[in-house]
Amino acid sequence: MPDSDTLAFADRPTTSVGLVTPHVARFDTPLALACGKVLPAYELIYETYGTLNAERSNAVLICHALSGHHHAAGYHSEDDRKPGWWDAHIGPGKAIDTNRFFVVSLNNLGGCHGSTGPVSHNPETGRQWGPEFPMVTVSDWVASQARLADQLGIERWAAAVGGSLGGMQVMQWTMTYPERVANAVVIAATPRLSAQNIAFNEVARQAIRSDPEFFDGWYAEHDTVPKRGLKLARMVGHITYLSEDAMGSKFGRDLRSDDLNFGFDVEFQVESYLRYQGDTFSTAFDANTYLLMTKALDYFDPSATQGGDLAKALAPAQCPFLIVSFTTDWRFPPSRSRELVDALTRAGKAVSYANIDSPHGHDAFLLSNPRYDAILSAFMSRAARELNLAETGGDEAGKDKASLEETP
């Protein structure tokens, strides 16, 4: 990971949004979900960076990926050792420039970072939702995000931006609410998962569901978590996020000690790394949420209702698109982004596409890279210019933000 992603608060550069505080929005209008169930009420946790202008025309929506959340940029406390997950691209002077844009980043429904999800209390049963939390899809997320936009008084996003599963939400926005998105950025995504993608997700799900501590999803009531399952799920997932080259250059065949032990304990550095990643994740993420998120990935296929014709599915879209892929991404490889690009050109939509050289595989979308930063900046600057967005900030703008925060 580059330095900008790992700098502690004390060492933050001037391009950091600094300290941020999450907000919670409550929704009491029932939300009908794609699965047929209805969520009577729910909460979404979100953060904002920058200042909403008087016309409310400079808002940018950030959609998160599988294990992401609302904390995309800045720090929660001065003791934080790392900034938000997309700090490389959000901040003053960065590609998503908070001097110009008002950035909104939320945790999706079904998440485990503060939005209503399996770890929330179900008022109807008086217990945790757990495995009874309804399946949520990309369309459901977009519908809930639209309600958040309504509550914030944002009629149209200056841009919707997302990587991986986040990119799918951006695609969905342009189809469901075409008039509410002025620009769309879809990074390292795919218009639908391949059989191989679904297969990897199924291995992850089986790892979780076969853990004896899973208790059919009621692990919380047994005061436990399916740590082993979640760890395995993360380990297999993590392999798909990195490229073979990246793994090779990072770990090679390096051993932790000088000699082979002829045993099954950790010997190779890559084993140690994967176990560490899995362990960290298994205590920080909810297993039911992980199951839901992987299903949302599997189900996403906007072409399905159009007889497999993606161009037809994208027909309602009105905004210019930027599609970005990374050369060594084998989870959602460049060819999948190109499918999306070809569908968009067939549909006659404004679209630009860049395939960025990066050794970092799928994870490249999270990192900084000169060409990636440049193309994102070029697209966002052009968007700002076309929307006549001036630089915000200063005292008066600060007041706007304060009044927004008081909005119930």
147 labeled binding residue: no
Stretch that binds another protein, among 1-9, 157-165, 228-236, 374-382 (CB under 8 A): 374-382
The reply to whether 347 sits near another protein by the rule CB under 8 A is: no
Shortest Cβ 341–another protein spacing (Å): 6
362 catalytic per annotation: yes
Residue of the chain from 287, 354, 384, 389 that contacts another protein (CB under 8 A): 354
- Residue closer to another protein (CB basis): 177 or 353: 353
**Of 35-43, 243-251, 272-280, 351-359, which part binds another protein (CB under 8 A)?**
351-359
Residue 352 binds another protein (CB under 8 A) = yes
- Minimum Å gap between C-beta 153 and another protein is 28
- Rg (C-alpha) for the chain, rounded Å, is 21
Residue 309 binding another protein, by CB under 8 A: no
Work out whether 348 is an interface residue with another protein (CB under 8 A): yes
What distance in Å separates the CA atoms of residue 314 and residue 304, rounded to the nearest whole number? 12
The alpha-helical segments, DSSP class H, found in 304-393 are 310-313, 334-346, 370-386
Residue 326 CB, nearest approach to another protein (Å): 12
Catalytic residue among 325, 329, 358, 360: 329
Q: Which of 402, 400, 394, 389 is nearest to 159 (CA)?
A: 389
Segment near another protein (CB under 8 A); pick from 33-41, 145-153, 233-241, 371-379: 371-379
386 binds another protein (CB under 8 A): yes
CB of 94 to another protein, least distance (A): 16
Q: Any known ligand binding at 234?
A: yes
The dihedral region occupied by 56, where left means phi > 0, alpha psi between -120 and 50, and beta the remainder, is left
CA atoms within 13 A on the CB side of 309: 8
Residue 118 in contact with residue 128, Cβ under 8 Å?
yes
Identified catalytic residue from 164, 243, 282, 325: 164
Do 46 and 20 contact (CB within 8 A), yes or no?
no
290 binding another protein? (CB under 8 A): no
- Among this protein's residues, is 164 annotated catalytic? yes
Encoded tokens for 22: 């999450």
Is 329 catalytic? The answer is: yes
Interaction of residue 194 with another protein, rule CB under 8 A: no
User: Considering the rule CB under 8 A, would residue 320 count as an interface residue with another protein?
Assistant: yes
Give the three-state DSSP class for 384: helix
Q: Which amino acid is present at 132?
A: E
185 binds another protein (CB under 8 A): no
The whole-angstrom separation of Cα 130 and Cα 150 is: 29
Q: What are phi and psi of 191, to 5 degrees?
A: -70, -15
According to the binding rule CB under 8 A, does residue 351 interact with another protein? yes
Convert 59-125 into a string of H (helix), E (strand) and C (coil): EEEEECCCCCCCCCCCECCCCCCCCCCCCCCEECCCCEECCCCEEEEECCCCCCCCCCCCCCECCCC
Burial of 97 (0-12, 13-18, 19+ CB in 10 A): buried
Quick one: DSSP state of residue 272? Answer: H
Is the CB of 204 or the CB of 341 nearer to another protein?
341
Q: Does 401 bind another protein (CB under 8 A)?
A: no
105-137: b or e for each residue (b if 16 or more CB lie within 10 Å)?
bbbbbbbbbbbbbbbbeeeeeeebbbbebbbbb
**342 lines the binding site for another protein (CB under 8 A):** yes
Question: Between residues 49 and 379, which has the closer beta carbon with respect to another protein?
Answer: 379
Binding-site residues for substrate, in ranges, read 234, 363
- Residues lying near another protein in the complex (CB under 8 A): 320, 322, 338, 341-342, 345-346, 348, 350-355, 371, 374-375, 378-379, 381-382, 386
Q: Which residues are catalytic?
A: 164, 329, 362
